[in-house]
Chain A
Amino acid sequence: MQVFQYILLGFLVVCAISVSFSRKLLNSIMIFMSYSLVMSIIWICLESPDLAITEAAVGAGVTSVLFFVTLKKINAMEGIGEPAGPEKEKREAKEGAEGNE
Chain B
Amino acid sequence: MSKLKSEQEYEKTAAFHFFRWLSGSKDPYLDNVEMKPQEEYKEEEATIQERMREQQMIRDKVYDTEKNKRLLFFRYFYRIMAVVFCVVLGGLLLVTVSYLPPTGRASKPDNNEVAARYIENGMQETGAVNVVTGMILTYRAFDTFGETNVLFIATCCVMIMLMAEDEELKKQELLNDRRYEPKNDAILQGVAAVLVPVIFIFGIYIVLNGHLSPGGGFSGGAAMGAGMILYVSAFGFKKTQRFFNEEVYKIAKVSALCVYGLVGIYYYVTGANGLDNHIPLGIPGHIISAGIIFPINICVGIEVACTMYAFYALFRRGGL
Considering the chains assembled together, what is the distance between the CA atoms of A69 and B180 in angstroms? 11
Question: How far apart are A54's CB and chain B's nearest CB, in angstroms?
Answer: 4
| Interface residue B219 (Cβ < 8 Å from any Cβ of A) | yes
Residue of B nearest to A52 (CB): B214
Asked if residues B219 and A57 are in contact (CB atoms below 8 Å), the reply is: yes
What is the 8 Å Cβ interface bit string for chain B, positions 305-320, against chain A (1 contact, 0 not)? 0001001100110000
What is the 8 Å Cβ interface bit string for chain A, positions 57-83, against chain B (1 contact, 0 not)? 110011001100110110001001110
Chain B interface extent, by class: 20 to 34
Asked if residues B222 and A62 are in contact (CB atoms below 8 Å), the reply is: yes
Asked if residues A61 and B226 are in contact (CB atoms below 8 Å), the reply is: yes
Identify which of A54, A57, A82 gathers the most chain B CB atoms within 10 Å of its CB. A57
User: What are the residues of chain B within 8 A of A58 when measuring CB–CB?
Assistant: 222, 308
User: What are the residues of chain B within 8 A of A49 when measuring CB–CB?
Assistant: 214-215
Asked if residues B219 and A54 are in contact (CB atoms below 8 Å), the reply is: yes
What is the 8 Å Cβ interface bit string for chain B, positions 206-250, against chain A (1 contact, 0 not)? 100000001110110011011001000100000000000000000
Considering the chains assembled together, what is the distance between the CA atoms of A66 and B315 in angstroms? 7
| Interface residue B3 (Cβ < 8 Å from any Cβ of A) | no
| Interface residue A98 (Cβ < 8 Å from any Cβ of B) | no
| Interface residue A53 (Cβ < 8 Å from any Cβ of B) | yes
Asked if residues A81 and B316 are in contact (CB atoms below 8 Å), the reply is: no
- Contacting residue for A62 out of B132, B181, B216, B226, CB 8 A: B226
Considering the chains assembled together, what is the distance between the CA atoms of A77 and B180 in angstroms? 10
Asked if residues A57 and B312 are in contact (CB atoms below 8 Å), the reply is: no
| Interface residue A101 (Cβ < 8 Å from any Cβ of B) | no
| Interface residue A95 (Cβ < 8 Å from any Cβ of B) | no
Instruction: Scan residues 123-139 of chain B and give those whose CB is less than 8 A from a CB of chain A.
Output: 130, 132-133
User: What are the residues of chain A within 8 A of B180 when measuring CB–CB?
Assistant: 72, 77, 80-82
Apart from A50-B132, A58-B308, A66-B311, what 11 extra A-B contacts exist at CB < 8 Å?
A48-B214, A50-B130, A53-B214, A53-B215, A53-B219, A54-B218, A57-B219, A61-B229, A65-B312, A69-B316, A81-B181
* Chain B residues packing against A (C-beta within 8 Å): 130, 132-133, 179-181, 206, 214-216, 218-219, 222-223, 225-226, 229, 233, 308, 311-312, 315-316
